[in-house]
Structure 1
Amino acid sequence: MRAALILSLLPMAAPADVLECRLFPEGGGAELLVAFGIDRTQFAPPLNPDEPPRRQESRVAMGDETFAAEPLLFDDGRRGFWTGDRQDGALLMMIAPDSRATLSTQDGAVFTGDCEDLQ
């Protein structure tokens, strides 16, 4: 469902990670669905050293909201995104190589759960 939205926002020829996550607030509460894609070609080194830095961007669907975020990829297999541009405050999402996920909000709320690779 949300993955279809994310897939529609990514260039189809690009190698991409498409993730859908089911998260719950610490202490219990309603499920939060988060889906986003990471276009790995955004992380490729420049072909020419004179190229300007590339803007790395992912589209995120979270609940009823869709927004842009900066994708994160680490050598140890962790993935995620960060954004400080939302009206409701900054978010940091980190997904471990075993698919366990944590979403932290600017106001201190923490959501945890699991993610599934859809592509």
Structure 2
Amino acid sequence: MKHPVDVHVGKRIRHRRWMLGMTQQQLGEAVGIKFQQIQKYETGMNRVSASRLWDIGQVLDVRIAFFFEGLASEYDQDSARDNVDQAGDLLADREALELVRSYYAIPEEQRRKLFDLARVLSDVA
């Protein structure tokens, strides 16, 4: 059975990799492992060791804490499972990830205007 923390960490790895436009193959090569192992990490099938998570964080240019953001207290397993389910829906949506990546590719001033427009439109809906 997959542990909710392993699933959450895997989704955060996939999310960051996607944001950088990196393939599983590229991440695996940079870390020194096969892409199949990256697949297993991203699905939560295999647990990521601390040293491997450090290496992945270095390649993805994030702090180790990034992989645990949004996760409930380790003592609150029911809440952790709920958070994994909610966060996983958005992170698994390819369209949402592409939208976020495209959004951050827009120059900051234009991005701010687009953000304000989106907020107004969502308030009207």
Give your verdict on TM over 0.5. no
Bigger helix share: 2
Bigger strand share: 1
TM-score w.r.t. the length of structure 2 is 0.23
TM-score w.r.t. the length of structure 1 is 0.24
